[in-house]
Structure 1
């Protein structure tokens, strides 16, 4: 009876799927290798541009922290104009349409959909 319920072990294999190789385990580096050497320190001190601009540092975490400490990212003139133009458009839209509740928006959409021909027929949204 035991032979009726025997199964093979392992995961399922799909047709056409590539051969999966086992990933090699990464070895941890000794503590001595993580300490900066004197040549690294000399290279950092000789290149002052890297210390001035936080975006050029090797680690993104360090760059992000430096930007926060320096008072935020400076926007270019084009970015400032874009933000201003976007804010003005939003204000104009709010003045023109006013603040509508979700129910009012749904009613307006249903009214618009009822005016369309059958070619554009869509079911009405919401109750009613």
Structure 2
């Protein structure tokens, strides 16, 4: 008894264009290699810190960085004092002051 499917090839499908090399699975990295990488990163960072500490800065550079740090701290403390409700309220006031030119036009029927 011959079936209508006797001429069909059986097995996995093949890609066109040549050899069908099996796909290699990636090996999982061991925890030892992770520890080695972390240790290497720490050593590299410590070397960079030593290099940066060896470079001496001028008086003007030190003052500039100090003032910059103070201004940043002021900005952070100012932003931390406002609650979300206050920020939303300020944003709404700002939007109310804008002209109708900035309004989003209605699109579609209605």
* Bigger RCO (CA 8 Å, 6+ sep): 1
Q: With structure 2 as the length reference, what TM-score do the two structures score?
A: 0.38
Q: With structure 1 as the length reference, what TM-score do the two structures score?
A: 0.34
